[in-house]
Amino acid sequence: MSFSIDWVAFLQVFAAALLAAVVVVGFYALGLRLLVRAGRAPVVAPAEFTDAITVISEKQARRAAKAAAKAATRSPLTDGQKRLALVGAYASFAVCAGAVLFGLLLIVFNH
């Protein structure tokens, strides 16, 4: 019984996985950056975890939300630039979703 490894196919899968990871992470980071520039910084409410993770208090969460709102009001961008940044953020998130869906379609249809 002999096993043979198709190294070219292995390198193709490795390159595709690396490229997909770079595209998804890169466009997600770009989308978050544009979302913040548009004045819509995502503020996440604290959750309850085990004692291994420090959770911020309600007062700290309110302070962070207030700081995000303050930063959004003093943005040097015009309303049109903010709108363009928001559209760019949504487009970046759409590219991420498209890359993930394309990968799933490749797996499902075995191409």
pTM value is 0.69
Report residue 34: phi and psi, to 5°.
-70, -35
Contact 37, 75 (CB under 8 A): yes
Does residue 3 lie in a domain region?
Answer: no
Does residue 4 lie in a domain region?
Answer: no
Report the 10 Å Cβ neighbour count for 35. 19
Name the band, by pLDDT with cuts 50, 70 and 90, for residue 58.
confident
pLDDT in tens, 90-101: 999 999 999 999
The pLDDT value given to residue 44: 67
The pLDDT value given to residue 60: 83
pLDDT in tens, 7-38: 998 999 899 899 999 999 999 999 999 998 88
The pLDDT value given to residue 20: 92
Domain that holds residue 35: 9-40+52-109
Please check the confidence at residue 55 and state whether its pLDDT lies above 90.
Answer: no
Domain count, the chain: 1
Residue 4: what residue type?
A: S
The pLDDT value given to residue 53: 63
Does residue 47 lie in a domain region?
Answer: no
Q: Find, among 11, 6, 17, 12, the residue nearest to 102 by Cα.
A: 17
